[in-house]
Structure 1
Amino acid sequence: MPTLDWLNRTEALTIADKTPYRVLEPVADYGDNSGENHADNLLIQGDNLDALKALLPFYRGRVKCIFIDPPYNTKSAFEHYDDNLEHSQWLSMMTPRLTLLRELLAEDGSIWVTIDDNEGHYLKVLMDEVFGRRNFVANVVWQKKYAVASDAKGFSDFHDHLFVYTKNGLFERNLLPRSDKQDSLYKHDDNDGNGPWRTDNLSVKTYSENYDYPLVNPKTGKEYWPPKGRCWYTSRDKMALLLANNGIYFGKDGLGAPQLKRYLARVQSGVVPSTWWTHEDAGHNDESRKESKVLFTTEDPFSTPKPERLLQRILYIATNPNDLILDSFLGSGTTAAVAHKMGRRWIGIEMGEHAVTHCIPRLQKVVTGEQGGISPAVNWQGGGGFRFMRLGEPMFTAEGSIHPAVRFNTLASFVWMQETGRASSGPWTVPLLGMHEGCAIYLLFNGILGDKRPASGNVLTNEVLAAIDRLCPHEGPKLIYGEACRLGAARLAAAGVTFKHIPYDVKAR
């Protein structure tokens, strides 16, 4: 498969692996996030590359939908984003982030990336490489403006791209709800109990000789054939049934060309999404700027925030209630706000102080029931909550030891992911992390057995092994992580124990 080449490409492909795992430090809780639907609502302040790596042990393979609105590299000045990166730098910035986002994506999840023409075609090739060309779903073209810019040089820019990819081709999209405008097309009614209908074409362009036959008007006896190169959409027998049940329309006077009666009651309940989204479908930039003016007392630092209706449409297609949404370029908080109102769980990542000055206040308003954006459409009344977190120290010090700030549950999540390849199911209150392929996995760290002395509770001795068997027994093989082991090889073998040293055998670096 063709690939992009740019300055520092080789280094960019290794950045994700080299990025250190960092601790996520809780700062504050807002609203009520104790319920199952809101326990994962996280607003994280910090560089999104570090934050994505920090999320891996907890959320690898669990995110149903990722939406990102990265800097467009338009050579315009943004207060909070460097949107004036050189082309090579921009590609080097995107590559490791897309790599980590793919790891976080669920097997049946999808990622949606909005971009304009400055980097859009390069981004398409890059995403082909990261996600696999076979996992490309669509390039949705969104009409972001409704008025021609009279001062435009050349063409007036009307659209953005939305590149949609799956992880492994398992994405199943939802149908969009039918609109009143679409239902109004069904304007005929025979008052026969079948409900309203509209006319539709009886022929199709996929030719079959068996479906190429004359259709006779029962009133006049006149024969009608499909247009040249086409055929009727169904067989002779089924067409005869349609005729017998008044399912074919020959015009008001009964003398016109045959058309199918398409009944509203018999069409699917929703509409297949298309790749062309007008400003009427999904909002526009002017709409989003007006939303921002209502939300923020000071001017919104983002000159082109996305409208809530755009995110509503994406999440409606790609997710269901309680699914987990991630936006690692959260901006002014639109994705999190819409996900919250639609009953989805969410994680948003933003750098800089505006995570505090803009994102938190906006999401607090959502929790208390603000009525802007899509709130009336989804009958949003408020509720739920979220947790605000910051990136802390790396998991490991420069010398390779576990950082003093790391607590038991944080290290347990890393150990569990390392051994199982799955995100954690903690928190834990005992040294047993869980079972994997018949083996019990234990962690001795930070005095989990109640003895905080370095030489005792974190060190595997006969007494500690007895305590493990008493608190969380397992008859089969055991894998025990600890700072040291005082048992010999024969004793370990007799107990069915494999011992691994902290930090040397912890690979999450």
Structure 2
Amino acid sequence: MPTLEWIGKDKVINHHLEVPYRVLEHQYTYIGNRQTEEEITDGNKIIRGDNLEALKALLPQYEGKIKCIYIDPPYNTGNEGWVYNDNVNDPKIKKWLGEVVGREGEDLSRHDKWLCMMYPRLKLLQRLLADAGAIFISIDDAELANLRLICDEIFGANNFIDTVIWEKRYSPQNAVQWFSESHDFIIVYAKNKEQWHPNLLNRTDEMNARYRNLDNDPRGIWKPTDSTAQAGHGTDSQFYVLTAPNGKEHNLPNGRCWVYTKEVMNRMIAENRVWFGNSGNNMPAIKRFLSDVKKGMSCKTIWPYQEVGHNQEAKKEIKAIFPESIPFDTPKPTRLMERILHISTDPNSIILDSFAGSGTTAHAVLNMNKADGGNRKFILVEMLDYVENITAERMRRVIDGYGEGKAAEEGTGGSFGFYELGEPLLNTDQTLNERIPAEKIRQYVFFMETKQPMGAPSENEPYLLGCHINTAYYFYYDKDRITTLNYEFLSSVQTQAEGYVIYADLCALCDGELKQYGITFKKIPRDISRL
């Protein structure tokens, strides 16, 4: 498989492993015109912070659980500013990442920078994606080819689904040097192509209007379809003279064959599934009944603006929500996001957007939940300062309703929690950061052991993390004293299990005693696994 090389690649291939794990600090929850300190742990989330660190922070709760990821990263056109905020401590890569992002021309350093920025983020997104999930990435020609190659490397070329063309403009640009660009791309990859099955799109009234009942058939409305096919695909049994019920013989046009053999075609005629026109003399057509058609249609790879909206529509939406100003230059229309959500989620899916911008993805999630009563959850990540005043504020207004008079939009309802990235779990010397709440440390340890989120703490056993596959996990930790796995601690263990994994600072039991009780001892912090 072809791979892409660029300056700095060797330093970012595993950079996601070096990113410190930071805890998420809950700031507030917004629900129905009010703000509260109460946290809804499995609810909607808006996270302020660098998206690479935020993605790492999401792993303990969400690895392998995100059904749909949408990202709209910087397109790297040379005419935009974007922030690279990863601490890659190597002189060679700093030389490239420290320069000002260049414009089009002979300075290709910005492509290396962009790839260094994207690669570790895509690695973490791949881990967060569910086996039956898919990622949708908006991009234009500036980085399309490079993006395809690194996605082939990270997600697997065999998991590439397709490239969608979105018609983002409805009118041509006159003041252009070459062509008037009217589209962007959305590339789609699955975590596991064999497990990802897109939903059908709803049939439109226009599509159904093509069906009529010209002969009052009791089976309902139908439309005529071609009774011939290209001759090159036919067998000998598909070349014959067809005789209509009125005796008229129909010969095949040049280069065509009948879609059915003579035996099957005669049976179709007998069942009144072939239409010869009101006179009975027309070229035969196969009757396709609406009742036989699938309840929807497969999604095409060209999305016209009439179906999913365009840039100007998106700006009008933003203006309606923020009449005092247009706070974002390049929003996406909610109809575009609703199309993506329609084909890739179910009513209980989790959706992630780690380049959240103005929050269109979350807006679309709330719209769809209101429309079908679903319980989809969104996670937004945004590092820039507008995340509170634009991204979160947009969600508040969408939840509660906005606009006045005829332009008023009823609120969708719902809620979200707002989070900041907290301190690293481990200090630079790999000791536990004692400023981190013990519960956050416990959640992390249990996830690293089981790849499962930790449940509610036990009232009777404060050091029990939980059980998984007949093993009980204990984290005997106290920041104010040294803990020791000894017989006194064992006397407090109440959970019955086939095996035990017990973390403590020290162990007073010998290997034989550990084996006798089925215990695996792990030393704090040495044996805590790193994400």
Q: Do these two structures clear the TM 0.5 threshold for a shared fold by scoring above it?
A: yes
> Which residue identity lines up with residue 191 of structure 2 in the other structure?
K
Look up the match of 2:88: none
Look up the match of 1:116: 140
Matches within 5 A, 1:223-302: 223-225=250-252, 227-302=253-328
Deviates most, 258-267 or 90-99: 258-267
Look up the match of 2:521: 499
Look up the match of 1:5: 5
Look up the match of 1:449: none
Question: Per the alignment, do residues 494 and 124 of structure 1 end up closer, same or farther by CA in structure 2, a change over 3 Å counting?
Answer: same
Equivalent residues of 1:39, 1:386 under 8 A apart = no
Question: Per the alignment, do residues 437 and 213 of structure 1 end up closer, same or farther by CA in structure 2, a change over 3 Å counting?
Answer: farther
The structural deviation recorded for 1:77 is 3.5
- Residue 22 of structure 1 pairs with residue 22 of structure 2: yes
Residue from 488, 492, 501 that aligns with 2:510 = 488
CA distance in 1, matches of 2:41, 2:309: 27
Equivalent residues of 1:37, 1:322 under 8 A apart = no
> Which residue identity lines up with residue 8 of structure 2 in the other structure?
N
Question: Per the alignment, do residues 71 and 81 of structure 1 end up closer, same or farther by CA in structure 2, a change over 3 Å counting?
Answer: farther
Measured against aligned partners, the alpha-carbon deviations of 1:452-472 in whole angstroms (never above 9, x if no partner) come to 7524xx432322221122xxx
Residue from 140, 155, 175 that aligns with 2:179 = 155
% of aligned pairs identical? 38
CA distance in 2, matches of 1:176, 1:395: 44
Question: Per the alignment, do residues 131 and 326 of structure 1 end up closer, same or farther by CA in structure 2, a change over 3 Å counting?
Answer: same
Look up the match of 2:62: 59
Equivalent residues of 2:28, 2:39 under 8 A apart = no
Look up the match of 1:75: 78
Look up the match of 2:107: none
> Which residue identity lines up with residue 229 of structure 2 in the other structure?
V
CA distance in 2, matches of 1:370, 1:441: 49
> Which residue identity lines up with residue 386 of structure 2 in the other structure?
H
- Residue 316 of structure 1 pairs with residue 342 of structure 2: yes
> Which residue identity lines up with residue 171 of structure 2 in the other structure?
A
CA distance in 2, matches of 1:96, 1:294: 36
Measured against aligned partners, the alpha-carbon deviations of 1:405-426 in whole angstroms (never above 9, x if no partner) come to 3223322332223222x24143
Look up the match of 1:175: 200
TM-score under structure 2 normalisation? 0.87
Equivalent residues of 1:330, 1:350 under 8 A apart = yes
Look up the match of 2:149: 125
CA distance in 2, matches of 1:294, 1:465: 63
CA distance in 1, matches of 2:289, 2:226: 13
The structural deviation recorded for 1:129 is 1.1
Measured against aligned partners, the alpha-carbon deviations of 1:21-69 in whole angstroms (never above 9, x if no partner) come to 1111000001179999993311000000000011111111000000000
Residue from 166, 169, 181 that aligns with 1:142 = 166
CA distance in 2, matches of 1:36, 1:112: 29
Question: Secondary structure of 2:339's partner?
Answer: helix
Question: Secondary structure of 2:491's partner?
Answer: helix
CA distance in 1, matches of 2:440, 2:237: 66
Equivalent residues of 1:29, 1:385 under 8 A apart = yes
Look up the match of 1:431: 463
CA distance in 2, matches of 1:407, 1:212: 78
- Residue 416 of structure 1 pairs with residue 446 of structure 2: yes
> Which residue identity lines up with residue 396 of structure 2 in the other structure?
Q
> Which residue identity lines up with residue 210 of structure 1 in the other structure?
S
Question: Secondary structure of 1:128's partner?
Answer: helix
CA distance in 2, matches of 1:297, 1:487: 69
> Which residue identity lines up with residue 328 of structure 1 in the other structure?
S
Matches within 5 A, 1:406-485: 406-420=436-450, 422-429=451-458, 430-446=462-478, 453-455=480-482, 458-469=483-494, 473-485=495-507
The structural deviation recorded for 1:271 is 0.8
The structural deviation recorded for 1:440 is 1.7
Equivalent residues of 2:43, 2:415 under 8 A apart = no
Deviates most, 118-127 or 43-52: 118-127
CA distance in 1, matches of 2:362, 2:292: 37
CA distance in 2, matches of 1:453, 1:403: 13
CA distance in 2, matches of 1:51, 1:29: 18
Equivalent residues of 1:370, 1:382 under 8 A apart = no
The structural deviation recorded for 1:188 is 4.1
The structural deviation recorded for 1:110 is 0.2
Question: Per the alignment, do residues 238 and 47 of structure 1 end up closer, same or farther by CA in structure 2, a change over 3 Å counting?
Answer: same
Unmatched 5+ stretches in structure 2: 86-99, 103-109, 370-375
CA distance in 1, matches of 2:82, 2:281: 68
Residue from 214, 221, 237 that aligns with 2:241 = 214
Question: Secondary structure of 1:387's partner?
Answer: strand
Q: How many residues align?
A: 493
> Which residue identity lines up with residue 133 of structure 1 in the other structure?
A
> Which residue identity lines up with residue 131 of structure 1 in the other structure?
F
Equivalent residues of 2:21, 2:56 under 8 A apart = yes
The structural deviation recorded for 1:381 is 5.1
CA distance in 2, matches of 1:475, 1:72: 53
The structural deviation recorded for 1:298 is 4.7
The structural deviation recorded for 1:107 is 0.4
Equivalent residues of 2:28, 2:38 under 8 A apart = no
CA distance in 1, matches of 2:130, 2:118: 20
CA distance in 1, matches of 2:239, 2:389: 67
The structural deviation recorded for 1:274 is 0.5
The structural deviation recorded for 1:20 is 0.9
> Which residue identity lines up with residue 325 of structure 1 in the other structure?
I
Measured against aligned partners, the alpha-carbon deviations of 1:176-206 in whole angstroms (never above 9, x if no partner) come to 0001111111144433332222111122343
CA distance in 2, matches of 1:487, 1:404: 26
Equivalent residues of 2:242, 2:251 under 8 A apart = yes
Question: Per the alignment, do residues 459 and 61 of structure 1 end up closer, same or farther by CA in structure 2, a change over 3 Å counting?
Answer: same
Equivalent residues of 1:145, 1:158 under 8 A apart = yes
Question: Secondary structure of 1:342's partner?
Answer: helix
Unmatched 5+ stretches in structure 1: 447-451
